[in-house]
Chains A and B, each alone.
Chain A
């Protein structure tokens, strides 16, 4: 049987890479959530404080 195309790249990840990826995604989510909570929470607070 002929060998597979030698130029074809195969996925080359190990457990350490998966951990790095998970940590990276976690950092991204924190950077997303914190300002969102401050802004959305603040705008909600405006509605509550100025409620008539």
Chain B
């Protein structure tokens, strides 16, 4: 199956826009030094020096969160969701196996891979460049990492939805008929291991932006975990009129549970679900800029994929290395590349023109 012509056109245009967005933080760093007439690389200044004192204070907590804290938070929230009956009768033996394997295996297998990349491969590929850009000011590093990491993940994610041959690597993340903490880590392992933004951020850390990366990645993990979880922290912002201005900004800037749950819906028919858009992870802003988003303040009526055949856990975790035995499955030998026959933009409520997604939120009850 080939990429739809309309999609290819939009992708081409949006990639061109992205190149400028990637350059934006670098240009702002250049303007900053130009105005201040500073050349910190001559003085051996390190970006840690100008980090806010509050960051120095929270740094140990951030380090712990990144190494083990988020795993504990995900586990505790996940167990609470289970005890409170979120998964009801949907957590079958297969779903349980997928969720547990996807949660545990990458934490064991991914660390040595990224460790090898950072500690062995990068010094080999970029010899003598460790901390080469450590003179970048803290705020500049934060700006660079936030854009680089999240825009790269946006593209990685979007292409796995819009390029047919890539879809099956991402399908596992959408196959469950429930939403909760388990969804955040439920991925095909090959999708996870080739996450481009992991290696991009690792390279920028190697080049000297590690201090800023710690701040951004912790913030990003909070936002993405909460967007997948069953905790609807955004609801008060929609309920109370006084908070509406904040809601207006939040839902356009970051992924809220409502907009990300809409991405996991199995249908457009409820006026809330938007599974062929809302690709943003930390920032929803990319969807606003590229016209791939639908802002909603309601939660979808159902989740998952219509053509799901509850494929075996090993096929969902390691396709195409292992195949499903379910007849007609996308993950079976000679299975269809994409089970959903709907055109890529069908059901979309927006004309895919940049910046035109900022429509009135869908408030259908």
Contacts and interface: CB of A to CB of B under 8 A. Distances in A.
Contact of A23 (B39, B42, B165, B203): B165
Contacts of B204: 36, 39
Given A12-B333, A31-B156, A38-B19, A21 B190 contact: yes
Given A42-B30, A50-B34, A36 B203 contact: yes
Nearest to B42: A52
Given A34-B19, A38-B19, A42-B30, 4 more contacts: A12-B323, A24-B190, A39-B204, A46-B30
B29 A46 contact: yes
Given A50-B34, A51-B39, A43 B322 contact: no
Contacts, number: 87
A51 B30 CA distance: 12
Interface residues of B, number: 41
Nearest to A52: B39
Contact of A12 (B23, B29, B151, B322): B322
A48 to B, nearest CB: 11
Interface in A10-36: 11-14, 17, 20-21, 23-25, 27-29, 31-32, 34-36
Contacts of A38: 19, 22-23, 26
A44 B190 CA distance: 33
- 6 A-B pairs closest in CB distance: A42-B26, A17-B320, A31-B196, A32-B196, A28-B194, A12-B323
